[in-house]
Chain A
């Protein structure tokens, strides 16, 4: 099957070129951002920075990192991701497993599925959400950031379809052994589910890592802001700074501005994702199959 014809050779070369061009186009924005984040603002504002820093400076990064606030916010984000991803995974598994059953085995399955799909479509809005948080006493607590959306429905559906696609022999073997549902889930399915869990876990991680809005809304005290909320507050102030007369920022403004600062923010926020992503990616191959083969 592996002999190569001349036509195939031409095709392969052509294919490589095309794939490379498209891939490069995807890489350019991030290189551009990186270059901007390390450049002096005058050159950035003058539109001279493309793919290599001009007037190299690390000021934008120093500004973001220099005080203890960055580290504090970073740790809060780590805590949030650990809790959030943990809760998400736990709830998704315990939801997806029953919902992957057929209607015969789990007669109320469709009711519960509907229960979740409904939340995908209808929401009550911010105000009652905030009031709820306040009444539960969750304001200013990390739990306000990790407990809502405990079951991300689309991701749960991915997991559920993955479980559905598994060969039924796997479970039947367990049932013959007399194992209960928990045991089947725990000792037989969980190891097999790993790729899929890695996939939905990453989605969940990216969500918790990138969300800044809930942090701004539910935290009373800036010292409890997660990283992205903190970085957001830094940036939105550049423009105000310019409008306010009498500030001590002039010096700083010569070395960084809104654009370079934003680029640095993007990068700082992206680093953990970029570090984790390649490790998880190998699971994607199997993790996202989602029962497609079985149909």
Chain B
């Protein structure tokens, strides 16, 4: 019977182990110090937002963080410049319930946390979560604390972008969150990127009309045995060329549309794909597929393949975002060994040679909210203001050490939920960087971001170090992507979406509706169906949910019927 005893013992041991394992970790261990600060309500100190709490109070939060954030020796998420800054300057001890490193499961984990009911004091949500929390009454009205304890600069963001903050209010105009804002509309327009060396070989001809575009690209294609534009099978890039034909389209890979007011239909808001000129675009795309501007193999291409085609010289360029310089340039220079082999941005041409409009979507997607159980919402407002104070306020004087401490190694993203960004930051930064490059006078680079972009651009200009190529293509020369964007913005050559805010709730049920379009458009481009079939495809789209979306957008964003 010895063996039986042994097995019984093992069995019992396993049970005990499981039980103690559970007990040992009975409370989730928060990251950071807790307990030495109060969790009760503390009267916010008199004075402006910078006046510190005394005694120190505690704020709990969660964050998704890129794993590219690097800390100096001996420092980590619980002990770094930001944590100490909040503690010393504001009297606030910040701790984390959890950190999703890699930022892959943030939305998922937050949904779980919300479902479990144990919310942190402050956290960042998307619009879907915002609506759900508002409906469930789990977040608090911050109208008053926002007005009282947020810095003037942060409240002034509304002046640049008056509509965004309204999306964080309930129907009575009470504020329930602070929008993140992002870097403003300057990063919105897209461009036709073209290989610089090949384009110069052609003599840098002006490309004003679609005809010019085709002529120049065909000439480059012949010389280099390449096809024209490199795109992948999601249509993310091809749909960017819409403005060439006076239609504006979203990113079908994300199921998004561009909504515009149709003047010919009494200002009713419609999706870009319903615009009558979309058929013109389809005709051209089908033609491009036939004559080699579009790779006949594009349906097999992932985004990686698309980049590969550019780098290996199998394509002359492609439509892309303002940051293309980081993705393509360095690898192309390395692969070809030529410092002139990288892509530069051009404004899109149009059919009649008129000025193309920059396509502007609604810039905000995330909101900072304060849970109803948070005792000290004023502290949250102070924390939000502090990020701006360190990062964007031109009057803030930081020592060299502090600059590095706060921003080196991607640490500007450490604030997580408190990272509200000046919507003009990138525009102002670009103006100063370009000026400094042109004049050589670096005295007006007064934020960390400016110094970084300037330094990187100079790295390319002086040493042809490809590490600086991304910054250079974005900010470093006349005709760089931000320069083109600034031209569009300054002259108001912009096409703003009519859906200036988050998608209506009704959209949730119609995501796959875009499939009707992407499948149909693939077939038309590949010549499997005539362009005239598009009327039927569009009708199918309306039937599959397009009508629901169009009605919803008009209900919330229309002029009223």
The answer for the CA separation of A250 and B98 in the assembled complex, in Å, is: 29
Query: Of residues 319 to 369 in B, which have CB atoms within 8 Å of A's CB atoms?
Result: 323, 326-327, 330-331, 334-335
Closest to A248 in B: B409
| Chain B positions within 8 Å of A126 at CB level | 108, 112
Identify the stretch in A9-17, A178-186, A270-278 within 8 Å (CB) of chain B at 4 or more residues: A178-186
The answer for the CA separation of A141 and B17 in the assembled complex, in Å, is: 13
| Chain A positions within 8 Å of B137 at CB level | none
| Chain B positions within 8 Å of A240 at CB level | 66, 68, 103
Instruction: Flag whether B6 is at the interface (Cβ < 8 A).
Output: yes
Query: Of residues 208 to 230 in A, which have CB atoms within 8 Å of B's CB atoms?
Result: 213, 216-217, 219-222, 225, 229
Q: Is the interface of A mostly helix, strand, loop or mixed?
A: helix
Closest to A259 in B: B304
For chain A, give the interface size range. Answer: 35 or more
Query: Quick check: A143 and B21 within 8 Å, CB to CB?
Result: yes
**Provided the pairs A240-B103, A242-B326, A247-B410 are in contact, do residues A42 and B334 lie with their beta carbons within 8 angstroms?**
yes
Instruction: Flag whether B101 is at the interface (Cβ < 8 A).
Output: yes
**Provided the pairs A143-B21, A220-B31, A220-B98 are in contact, do residues A187 and B470 lie with their beta carbons within 8 angstroms?**
no
The answer for the CA separation of A241 and B4 in the assembled complex, in Å, is: 58
The residue that B68 contacts in the complex, of A42, A139, A249, A254, with Cβ under 8 A, is A249
Identify the stretch in A43-51, A100-108, A155-163, A287-295 within 8 Å (CB) of chain B at 4 or more residues: A43-51
| Chain B positions within 8 Å of A259 at CB level | 304
**Provided the pairs A247-B68, A250-B468 are in contact, do residues A233 and B102 lie with their beta carbons within 8 angstroms?**
yes
Query: Quick check: A222 and B66 within 8 Å, CB to CB?
Result: no
Query: Quick check: B22 and A222 within 8 Å, CB to CB?
Result: no
| Chain A positions within 8 Å of B41 at CB level | none
Instruction: Flag whether B104 is at the interface (Cβ < 8 A).
Output: yes
Query: Quick check: B467 and A186 within 8 Å, CB to CB?
Result: no
Instruction: Flag whether A285 is at the interface (Cβ < 8 A).
Output: no
Query: Quick check: B102 and A245 within 8 Å, CB to CB?
Result: no
Instruction: Flag whether B136 is at the interface (Cβ < 8 A).
Output: no
Instruction: Flag whether A170 is at the interface (Cβ < 8 A).
Output: no
Q: Say how far A179's CB is from chain B's closest CB, in angstroms.
A: 9
Closest to A240 in B: B66
Instruction: Flag whether B449 is at the interface (Cβ < 8 A).
Output: yes
The answer for the CA separation of A247 and B331 in the assembled complex, in Å, is: 17
| Chain A positions within 8 Å of B77 at CB level | 222
Q: Say how far A170's CB is from chain B's closest CB, in angstroms.
A: 16
The answer for the CA separation of A259 and B307 in the assembled complex, in Å, is: 12
The answer for the CA separation of A183 and B8 in the assembled complex, in Å, is: 11
Q: Say how far B345's CB is from chain A's closest CB, in angstroms.
A: 15
The residue that A246 contacts in the complex, of B29, B97, B118, B453, with Cβ under 8 A, is B453
Instruction: Flag whether A59 is at the interface (Cβ < 8 A).
Output: no
The answer for the CA separation of A32 and B304 in the assembled complex, in Å, is: 16
Instruction: Flag whether A282 is at the interface (Cβ < 8 A).
Output: no
Identify the stretch in A20-28, A115-123, A128-136, A193-201 within 8 Å (CB) of chain B at 4 or more residues: A128-136
Closest to B27 in A: A137
The answer for the CA separation of A283 and B95 in the assembled complex, in Å, is: 51
**Provided the pairs A140-B29, A246-B452, A247-B410 are in contact, do residues A225 and B3 lie with their beta carbons within 8 angstroms?**
no
The answer for the CA separation of A217 and B407 in the assembled complex, in Å, is: 29
Query: Of residues 38 to 72 in A, which have CB atoms within 8 Å of B's CB atoms?
Result: 40-43, 45-47
The answer for the CA separation of A136 and B20 in the assembled complex, in Å, is: 11
The answer for the CA separation of A233 and B331 in the assembled complex, in Å, is: 23
**Provided the pairs A43-B335, A47-B308, A217-B112 are in contact, do residues A237 and B21 lie with their beta carbons within 8 angstroms?**
no
The answer for the CA separation of A217 and B111 in the assembled complex, in Å, is: 11
The 10 closest A-B pairs by CB, nearest first: A233-B102, A250-B467, A42-B334, A220-B98, A222-B101, A141-B25, A137-B26, A130-B112, A182-B4, A186-B3
14 interchain pairs, CB-CB under 8 A: A41-B334, A42-B334, A42-B335, A134-B118, A136-B22, A137-B27, A141-B22, A141-B24, A143-B25, A221-B98, A232-B104, A237-B102, A253-B467, A254-B334
Assuming A45-B308, A217-B109, what are 12 further A-B pairs, CB within 8 angstroms?
Answer: A42-B311, A130-B115, A147-B18, A183-B4, A220-B29, A221-B31, A233-B104, A244-B66, A245-B471, A253-B467, A254-B330, A259-B304
B interface, CB within 8 angstroms of A: 1, 3-4, 6-8, 10-11, 14, 18, 21-31, 66-68, 70, 77, 96-105, 108-109, 111-112, 115-116, 118, 304, 307-308, 311-312, 323, 326-327, 330-331, 334-335, 407-410, 412, 449, 452-453, 456, 465-468, 470-471, 474
